[in-house]
Chain A
Amino acid sequence: MNKVQEVQEIRLEAITFCKYRLQIANKSILLSFPQLLALRNQVNKHTSHEVLEQTINGSNMILLFMADREHLVLLDVPQLIGLQEEIETIFYLAHPTFV
Chain B
Amino acid sequence: MLTAVRKQMSIHPEVMDLLNEQIAIEMKASASYLAMASWCDQRSLTNSAQFFYRQAEEEREHGMKIFKFVNEAGGAAISPSVADVNNDFESLRSIFESSLEQEIGVTQSIYKAFKKSRQVDDFASETFLQWFVTEQVEEEDVVRGIIDIFDLMEGMPLKMIDEKIPTE
> In A39-65, which residues have CB < 8 Å from any B CB?
40-41, 44
Name B2's contact: one of A37, A89, A91, A95 (CB within 8 Å): A95
CA distance A53 to B80 in the complex (A): 23
Chain B residues lying within 8 Å of A91, measured Cβ to Cβ, are 3-5, 13
Q: How many residues of A contact B (CB 8 A)?
A: 19
Closest residue to A90 on the B side, CB-wise?
A: B4
Chain B at the A interface: SS class = loop
Interface extent on B, as a size class?
10 to 19
Main secondary structure of the interface of A (DSSP, over half): helix
- Say which residue of A34, A40, A41, A95 sits within 8 Å of B4 (CB atoms): A95
- 11 further contact pairs, Cβ within 8 A, besides A92-B3, A98-B6: A33-B9, A37-B76, A38-B76, A41-B76, A41-B78, A90-B4, A91-B5, A91-B13, A92-B13, A94-B3, A95-B2
Given known contacts A37-B76, A38-B76, A41-B78, is B8 in contact with A93 (CB within 8 Å)? Answer: no
* In the bound complex, CA of A94 to CA of B6 (Å): 9
Q: How far is the CB of A34 from chain B (nearest CB, A)?
A: 6
Within 8 Å of chain A (Cβ to Cβ): is B160? no
- Is B7 interfacial (CB-CB < 8 Å)? yes
B79 to chain A, nearest CB (A): 12
Which residue of chain B has the shortest Cβ distance to A35 in the bound complex? B76
